[in-house]
Amino acid sequence: RSFLARDDIGIILINQCIAELIRHAVDAHARSVPAVLEIPSKEHPYDPAKDSVLRRARGMFTADDLR
């Protein structure tokens, strides 16, 4: 939460497995800056269904928008 409050941070990179531990906080973050981006780790496979940014993006577009 302290990273979210800083004005000198524009992007926060977090491993998806760690983001799962604080999913409530990641999903509650609605501001565009700083952007919170979930990245894979060597130990845990990346699951796009759990990525908060991708879930929000899917809600913004319909199949017709992508044609």
Where in the chain are the domains? 11-58
Class of domain 11-58: alpha beta
Residue closest to 16 by CA, chosen among 42, 60, 57: 42
Percent of the chain scored above 70 by pLDDT? 79
Q: What is the pLDDT of residue 11?
A: 93
Residues 6-32 have a mean pLDDT of 89
Q: What is the pLDDT of residue 44?
A: 83
Q: Which amino acid is located at 38 in the chain?
A: E
